[in-house]
Amino acid sequence: MSFRKHGVMALAMGFCTATSALAPQAKACGGEWYPEAMVDPRIQGVAQAEKALSSGKHLAAAASVIRMMPHIKTLKSKPGTLVARAERVLAVALSRAHGALPVAREVPRDVLGAWQGSRDGEATANVAWSVDVLRRQASGKTEDVALKTDLAEALARVPEHRSEARSLLEDLAKRDLIASPEGYAALAMLRSQSGDADGQKLALKRCEAMAKSQDACLIRS
Amino acid sequence: MPHPQLIAIAASVGLLLGFGCKSPAPDQARPERPALSSRALAAASARVEPGPASLAFEPGDAARGKALVAEYECNRCHQGTGHGTPKLDQDCVGCHEQIATGKFGANRAKLPEWQAHVAPYRDVPSLTALGARVRPAWIRDYLLHPHDLRPNLLQTMPRLKLTPDQARDIATFLSLPLEAPAGSPLPTPVLAVSADPAHVARGKQLMTERGCIGCHHMTGAGFSPPVRSEPAPRSLGLAPDLRFARERAEPATLVNWLLDPTRLKHDAAMPNLGLPAEDARDLAAFLSFGALEPPAAPKAPSRLPLLARPVRFAEVNAKVFAVTCRHCHTNPDLAGGDGGPGNTGGFGFEPRKIDFSSYQGIQSGGVDAQGQRVSLFEKTSEGLPRLVAALVQRAREEGGGASEDLRGMPLGLPALSPEDIQLVESWVDQGRPL
């Protein structure tokens, strides 16, 4: 193909791109044509997912993120961006669901992927993804104790990471900085596994005082 | 005196000695002082010569004062600081004005809600030609120990983290005659002000006759507080409590101000009342030498017992955190990188990284002076959780008490009601339930 043909092709593609970007819905039938501004619904959507997660509705939060960004695992996020916030919601929800999100009713089948964690190894892989995401985000925000709490909670789901989780949570608990009831539930579980019954009771008590629903404080290793 | 005249005089004389400014028109460009070279600053510093009756003031380093005015971001609230108007997201008063007038580029549905919040926070006194009006010693002391100077305004000067030296340097800079007077040179007062009892007594009488007390408080002088119909004109918010006039200004300055405020401050809201010189002299005599009751003793804030009913986060957030705390302590990720002065820093404060935008953020505490994350619920020496202690402290500050160790919150805004503090304290006591 000659250079000229390349140029024509590029121009044509540029025109198509510009047209489609400016006119998501062209009103050409009987009325005047005008470009219509579109608002990215994910801005509100991610904020609502964060709110849902914070109020204990982790499945609803996760389903919402998967619907909005079904290809989230392939996205590269930068700290503080919408994708990073969505990633965090999904990672925390996944760890709270032990890697298996029963969201088949809320998420179209074609984007459900392995999120349900129903096949061998999927749940484990999901929790591992959750740990990876939270660890990456926490490494860029060393002072964010809420993120540290979320990371420790996810680490507590993985047997080989439990001592790291315990160390993180004990340090935060000592300073009254565990930022979520689920963080205290994870600490209770870790203390229980190490035979610290009194410590477990204390952590559970804090979880129960903070949580909206006592379900958040159920210990499940 | 006919009623309409009385109203007109009350409205205009009400701004007497206001040392305030006209409320800025939304689109009005803010006049700023010209930038000075460091040599000019040094020379000007040497010219700050308090009069014989002034409180003692040793001029400081004006160049450093100018830098401190920038560091403490005085221009986020005040005009006439010698620094330009900041961009809108740093310009507190400009932003409030845009919201109040519906010009702010935000969600239209949100504006009415915000308008109710910002309405009282649109008026801040301009610092234009401060040195021509106010004693530098008073500026220094007020910076170190701000108090309620303008009872008609909800907000007060915040307690900044200033050392005495820094306050002196700022006072030195702000006292410089950086601008030429708007009109002809100031006249020497025709009549000298003295503590002559006859002049003082007549001055007190003029306070009522001229309608000064229709707009101004003068605490401790035996006048009833001003009564006015709602809504009061915005500019009256700037009318200072005249109790402090004698500390703030020389008697001769008071006379000049009374005779023509715009000679001292080009953007003064106070009109020229055409007062006879004798009236100005006697008013200045009363303001400077009239008897005042001693200031009220500091009042302990009223406290309410903990609530027995359950208090959950949603309620405390809706009533307190979201409407009061979050504006200055928010998540920078959700606010274009600027989490407000109480998060990413500002007004001379280090970044404290306190985030009231979410439950998790609040549980995450803040960074202390040593750079360590500490809980907002850690008990103080008084046995109160830090957060509650700061709220109680603000009520104490309003009652006249201050502490070097603890800064009252919300900074520079009215203290929370005892009911709101009770709500927060009860929520903390119940284990901070979601």
Cβ–Cβ gap A54/B332 under 8 Å: no
pLDDT on residue B26: 35
For B11-34, what is each residue's pLDDT tens digit? Answer: 333 333 333 333 333 333 333 333
Q: Does A145 contact B432 at a Cβ distance shorter than 8 Å?
A: no
Looking at chain B, which residue has its C-alpha nearest residue A51? B358
Q: What is the pLDDT of residue A196?
A: 97
CA dihedral B36→B38→B44→B50, nearest 10 degrees, is 110
**B366-367 and B373-374 beta bridge pairing:** antiparallel
Q: In chain B, whose CA is at the least distance from the CA of A145? A: B364
State residue B17's pLDDT score.
35
Tell me which residues of chain A, numbers 157 to 176, contact chain B at a CB-CB cutoff of 8 Å. 175-176
pLDDT of residue B157 exceeding 60, the answer is: yes
Query: Which of the four pLDDT bands, split at 50, 70 and 90, describes residue B37?
Result: very low
C-alpha to C-alpha distance for B6 and B392, rounded to whole angstroms: 43
**Does pLDDT of B190 surpass 70?**
no
Interchain contact, A176 vs B433, CB within 8 Å: no
Neighbours of A121 (CB within 10 A): 11
What percentage of chain B carries pLDDT values higher than 70? 83
Taking 60 as the threshold, does the pLDDT of residue B355 lie above it? yes
Which chain B residues are within 8 Å of A85, Cβ to Cβ?
333
Q: What angle is formed at CA B174 by the lines to CA B170 and CA B180, rounded to 5 degrees?
A: 160
> Which region, left, alpha or beta, applies to residue B111 given φ > 0 means left and ψ of -120 to 50 means alpha?
alpha
Please report, in tens digits, the pLDDT of each residue of chain A (221 residues total).
455 667 777 777 776 566 555 555 544 555 566 666 677 788 889 999 999 998 889 999 999 999 999 999 888 888 878 999 999 999 999 999 999 999 989 899 888 889 999 888 999 999 999 999 999 999 988 889 999 999 999 999 999 999 999 999 999 999 999 999 999 999 999 999 999 999 999 999 999 999 998 888 987 66
Beta carbons within 10 angstroms of residue A13's beta carbon: 10
Write out pLDDT tens, residues B142-153: 999 999 999 988
What are the φ and ψ backbone dihedral angles of B170, each rounded to 5 degrees?
A: -65, -45
- pLDDT for position B189: 56
Provide the pLDDT for residue A47: 92
Whole-angstrom CA distances from A220 to A95, A97, A148, A172 are 12, 10, 20, 21
Residue in A79, A178, A209 nearest the CB of B431: A209
Within an 8 Å CB–CB cutoff, is residue A23 touching chain B?
Answer: no
d(CA B311, CA B299): 29
User: Over the stretch B199-236, which tens digit does the pLDDT of each residue have?
Assistant: 999 999 999 999 899 889 999 999 987 776 666 677 78
Measure the CA angle with vertex B335, ends B334 and B339; round to 5°: 105
Q: Residue B63: its pLDDT value, please?
A: 96
CB contact under 8 Å between A178 and B360, yes or no, is no
pLDDT at residue A15, rounded to an integer? 66
Q: Which of B278, B366, B267, B352 is nearest to B18 (CA)?
A: B267
Nearest beta carbon to residue B373 from set A143, A206, A209: A143
Is A149 part of the contact surface with chain B (CB cutoff 8 Å)?
Answer: yes
Q: Are B269 and B22 in contact (CB under 8 A)?
A: yes
For the residues of B359-416, what is the DSSP string, one character each?
A: HHHHHT-EE-TTS-EE-TT-B-TTSSBHHHHHHHHHHHHHTT---SS---SSTTSPPP
Taking only the tens place, the pLDDT of each residue in B164-176 is 999 999 999 999 8
Q: Considering only CB atoms, which chain B residues are within 8 Å of A149?
A: 360
- Whether residue A137 lies within 8 A of chain B, CB to CB, comes out as no
Pairwise pLDDT comparison (B36 vs B386), residue with the higher score? B386
Q: Give the model's pLDDT for residue B310.
A: 97
pLDDT of residue B29: 38
Residue from the list B367, B430, B434 with its beta carbon closest to the beta carbon of A143: B367
Separation CA A92–CA B61 (nearest Å): 54
Measured between CB atoms, does A80 come within 8 Å of chain B? yes
- Residue of B338, B350, B364, B430 to mutate, interface with A, max A Cβ within 10 Å: B364
Residue B63 near residue B38, CB atoms below 8 Å: yes
pLDDT at position A205: 97
Confidence of residue B304 (pLDDT cuts 50, 70, 90): very high
How far apart are alpha carbons B97 and B123 in whole angstroms?
9
pLDDT-derived band at B41, boundaries 50, 70, 90: very low
Mean pLDDT of B84-92: 88
In the predicted model, what is the mean pLDDT of chain B? 84
Does the distance separating the beta carbons of B337 and A80 come in below 8 Å?
yes
Chain B nearest-CA distance from A148, in A, is 10
Q: Please list the residues that pair with B366 across neighbouring strands.
A: B374
**Residue B16: its pLDDT value, please?**
36
Q: Which residues of B touch A179 (CB under 8 A)?
A: 360-361, 363-364
Region B90-112: mean pLDDT is 88
Contact: A177, B312; criterion CB under 8 Å:
no
**Of the candidates A80, A146, A206, which has its C-beta nearest B361's C-beta?**
A146
Residue A176 Rama label (left phi>0; alpha psi -120 to 50; beta): left
- The amino acid occupying position B247 is E
Query: How far, in Å, CA of A159 to CA of B141, rounded?
Result: 61
Q: For B109-250, where are the alpha helices, taking DSSP H only?
A: 111-118, 136-144, 164-174, 197-209, 245-248
A177 part of contact set with chain B, CB < 8 Å = yes
